[in-house]
Structure 1
Amino acid sequence: MTITTTLPPLGRAIPEGPHAISVHIPTWNGMCSIGRGDPQVMKALRNGYPRTFVHKDIQKLFQACQRRFLSSPAKVLLFLEQRHAQACKSFVTSPAINGDKAAPAKSVSVFALEIGESHPTMVRAGNTPRPTTLWAVVYPEESAPIGAFFWRLTGTGISSRFAEHCLRRIEAMQRIEPPVKRFYSAMATVHPVYRTICTRIACLMERAPAGPRRSLTVNHSDVFLYPSGMSAIYHVHQALLKWRGLESVIIGFPYELTIKMMKTYGPSYKFYSLGTDEQIDDFEAYLDTKAQAGSMIQAVWCECPSNPLLRTVDMERIRRLADKHRFVVVVDETIGSFANVDALGVADVVVTSLSKSFNGYADLLAGSVTLNPNSDYYGALKACLTGGYTNTLYIDDAIQLERNSRNFLKRAAQMNDTAECVVDYLVPFASDPSSVVNAVHYPKTCESAQQYKSRMRQATDEFIPGYGCLFTVDFDTIEASRAFFDSLDVRKGPSLGAHITLAQPYVQMVLQKEKKWAASHGLRETIVRVSVGLEDKEVLLQSVKSAHVMAEKTKGTHAL
């Protein structure tokens, strides 16, 4: 694959296609405008990252339901499980969470909708024809931001493919009066594709582990599928609250909105921002203090490595503390990926956004949770997760995910090689006082490199592990960052792990309104995050070199 110079205009889907999960924003100023939510730029969007932008087909389905089932102006959200609809209602009406912006309880309602035919794929698979049920939450228009926050940040909403399916059958949709005795959907019925995906993930979890072979190996039944990575996180969080209901700790830079979501659903979260030895010392002292008081925490959450600074906490030390103080270790290894890192060697639970490298084509959302059968808490956690579990990964998304992930290791190997090549070019400039490159963040080159390497899988004839597809470049000035980003001849947008290279000034777009907070945790507004794709390595390297030259010109010097 080569890089094309014919890039899509502002607001168009990348990659091109009806279910893309990224959007092209070609300039630094455009990224800043999106981060601020400027109305003029927002109107230009024809697509967007699902966490911050509701897909056009989903919007159409919401509007169709408003017209068909509501007699007065209101907002509608759709869910595939009643418990998620009820949780949304509780969230929107909660004064504890929303203060005086909480909607009155009597202004929010939940009802069931049914499409009276099975998905043809399920019928062909030999399943008994059953209707598809979904749940509508209706709330006042002034509560739209609160409802949208829940829908996006819990990841429990419907997918664009499911919305497409419903829109084709909108005339057959009807409201069902309670009680609805049983939830039926295409996802709740057995189809072999789900077991295929779970088995593939289980095998990857046990492939070439970082340490000795574990006594018990992951089975397909230890893998739980969800409609997004955020949904996987949300459900693990809910399971932990159900199990213990205690405080948790996040070590490493957290996605700010994830913390907000977690804080609204239970005990407070403590936060150790960078996971340095000194901070883990503080954390250990905190655990000892709690133990002396007869209390404990329920879990530690961390990434391997972190996004966007690609740092890896000392997981072996976290594991030792977990064994001593009896808490659960939850690791999100999305950035490192199943291919490169063995998170299960230290984790009780592994959460993954399958939307990223595993799927690899930025055309769907999915997530997974894998339980470690060797964990002391395996039985308790499995009981909590399976209690009421419904697989709501839509069948068409699952089929596409299975197809896309077949060449996962091949793609991972190429992206590892390309990213390392580009980083090797950039790193020397970070130590040159005359260069505008301030730092290059990458698992191989950062101060926590040894901690990442300790989690790398063993090399095999089939695959040699690497450092992933992601790196972040930090420049001395905004001017240099802007020049680099605007000159970089790749697609510009959110997400990572796709077959196409995606660049993003992370703080400017994601944390535009929280710059001071981000800076206090080491994220400068001058960083540019790059996720390499499957383009020709030399072509991409030349593009980076050309952009780097433009960045150096802002200081009046030229790269050699």
Structure 2
Amino acid sequence: MCLPTWKAVLGYEEGRDKVIRRMRIGYPRFFRHPLVDRLTTAASEEIGGEGDAVLVFPSKLAAQRAQRWIERRGEVAVRSVGFHGMQALAVPIKAKQVAIDYQRFTGELVSSRQAEDFLNGTVRSGDKNHLLQRRLGKIAGVEPKQVTVFNSGMAAITAVLRSLPGVKEGRKTLQIEFPYVDALKIQELFGNGVVFLNQASGESFDEALSRIRKGEFAAVFTEAPSNPLLRTIDLPQVAAACADGGVPLIVDDSAVGPSNVSVIRWADVVTTSLTKWLSGAGDVMAGMVAVREDSPFAGPLLEGLAEESAASSPLYIGDAEVLLSNLKGYPARMAMPNANGLALAQLLAGHPGVADVWHPSLITRENYDKIKAPRGGYGPLLSFALKNPRKAPKVFDSLQVCKGPSFGTPFTLACPYTLLAHFHELDWADACGVPSHLIRVSCGSEETDGLLARFSAALEHA
């Protein structure tokens, strides 16, 4: 899918029919895949009643949790019905958006491949978890038994939250650094609340470290580096505070991938969206959790994560096979996107029309270098903002690259990130240092000179 202009992005966010009706596909947690739509129609015809919206879940446990959440927040009664090995919920139409939001936040979806096999009468059982654990363990630097696989990156993060002993005891979590939007939302909605520290500096950061040492939080969550600002906290410093306070440290490395940063030395848990750089093709969704073997929380976390993966958000065997195939080129194929990211960051930083560039090579580099993998680079993901925000739409519209959400594809992908991720909270995002005219770029494997030329041409409008 492509949202090629600034106006198209606004139209999508505002739900304008002339944009929505032309879209055939979108990011799966936000836009129902056509095959999943056909599966849902089949479920509606079989179990739906008048005035019901039907959603299909990959497992009974996922549906049961969704049912409780929807009933509580939507103040409605929801029916749960088994559906050919899956589970369907019939939701009163007034609570449809509540149900859609639940699947968006948790990532507990039926994949398009599973839907296709169902429609063709060829649904398969079993999994490829042992093969994935072996392959991913080598990439993450842990034993295979320390790896758990899920059907999406958000499902992996949600499973970690549910498995934390401190959450079960009623404690809040702490989020350090501005994160990907839904990573913060799930802590707000499915935990006991979250304390949010936008930037790891100053008196607020010192206070947070003190509170961590006192064991106040159920866990500390952060990204290394963050998305979309690509900032990196002083991970060894935070890890030491967590060790003192007996607080698990959860680090997500999705922005640059585990070939570029190695954080398992400091983190108790590392979450990774396999949908992005590790797959590298944009054609499969999955997530993983790696638990450090000598973490004091390893036992209860691994037990909880195994149950979550098997009973709540399993990775469908057809998706696992595609992921295994895609992983064969990793991490060698990261060299070209890394080089493009570095070159583009330097180009943008030197342009007179650009106000800010966020890339690990340019910001909090000292902290990033502490966690950079021995053969890693500074990553293909970056963001920038123009000195004149009014010129951002023209620059974006004239930029000759693919345009849309997500990152980690073999081709360069750009989007007005803040509009897509924070459209209904733009003032809040701006107050956090994430301007509405920010453009995020995921560099692909194109020839560098040609890629830079395309950005230079677009920047003539800056």
Please indicate the TM-score interval, normalised by the length of the shorter structure.
Answer: over 0.9
Number of the residue aligned with 1:104: 76
> Are residues 1:74 and 2:52 paired?
yes
Alignment of 1:108-257 (within 5 A): 108-114=78-84, 133-169=85-121, 186=124, 189=126, 191=127, 193-206=128-141, 218-240=142-164, 244-257=169-182
Pick the aligned partner of 1:307 from 227, 239, 243: 227
- Secondary structure of residue in 2 paired with 1:335: coil
Alignment of 1:224-373 (within 5 A): 224-240=148-164, 244-287=169-212, 291=214, 296-373=216-293
> Are residues 1:530 and 2:441 paired?
yes
- Secondary structure of residue in 1 paired with 2:461: helix
Residues 1:194 and 1:257: Cα distance change in structure 2 (over 3 Å): closer
Contact 2:44 2:54 in 1 (8 A): yes
Q: What whole-Å deviation, never above 9, does each CA across 1:165-218 have from its counterpart, x for those lacking one?
A: 111229xxxxxxxxxxxxxx845x3x5x43222212111122xxxxxxxxxxx2
- Secondary structure of residue in 1 paired with 2:368: helix
- Secondary structure of residue in 1 paired with 2:222: strand
- Secondary structure of residue in 2 paired with 1:310: coil
Contact 2:66 2:99 in 1 (8 A): yes
Q: TM-score with structure 1 length normalisation?
A: 0.79
Contact 2:76 2:92 in 1 (8 A): no
> What letter corresponds to residue 397 of structure 1 in structure 2?
D
Q: What whole-Å deviation, never above 9, does each CA across 1:206-251 have from its counterpart, x for those lacking one?
A: 2xxxxxxxxxxx2111111100000001100111156544211000
Identity of aligned residues (%): 29
Shift of 1:326: 0.8
Contact 1:500 1:534 in 2 (8 A): yes
Shift of 1:298: 1.4
Shift of 1:40: 2.6
> What letter corresponds to residue 422 of structure 1 in structure 2?
L
For structure 2, the residue ranges without an aligned partner over 5 or more in a row are none
Number of the residue aligned with 1:47: 25
Partner Cα separation in structure 2 for residue 549 and residue 272 of structure 1:
37
> What letter corresponds to residue 185 of structure 2 in structure 1?
K
- Secondary structure of residue in 2 paired with 1:529: strand
The more displaced of 257-266 and 412-421 is: 257-266
Partner Cα separation in structure 2 for residue 361 and residue 103 of structure 1:
41
Contact 1:243 1:381 in 2 (8 A): no
Q: Which has the larger radius of gyration?
A: 1
> Are residues 1:437 and 2:389 paired?
no
Indicate the RMSD between aligned Cα atoms, in angstroms. 1.7
Q: What whole-Å deviation, never above 9, does each CA across 1:364-401 have from its counterpart, x for those lacking one?
A: 11000011002121112122223464061111111111
Q: TM-score with structure 2 length normalisation?
A: 0.95
For structure 1, the residue ranges without an aligned partner over 5 or more in a row are 1-22, 115-132, 171-184, 207-217, 430-434, 459-463, 552-560
Contact 1:344 1:350 in 2 (8 A): yes
Contact 2:180 2:226 in 1 (8 A): no
Residues 1:71 and 1:320: Cα distance change in structure 2 (over 3 Å): closer
Pick the aligned partner of 2:9 from 19, 31, 34: 31
Number of the residue aligned with 1:410: 332
Partner Cα separation in structure 2 for residue 201 and residue 274 of structure 1:
31
Q: What whole-Å deviation, never above 9, does each CA across 1:129-150 have from its counterpart, x for those lacking one?
A: xxxx111111111111000001
> What letter corresponds to residue 67 of structure 1 in structure 2?
E
Shift of 1:277: 4.1
Number of the residue aligned with 1:468: 379
Partner Cα separation in structure 1 for residue 225 and residue 429 of structure 2:
18
Aligned length: 459
Contact 1:77 1:151 in 2 (8 A): no
> What letter corresponds to residue 186 of structure 2 in structure 1?
M
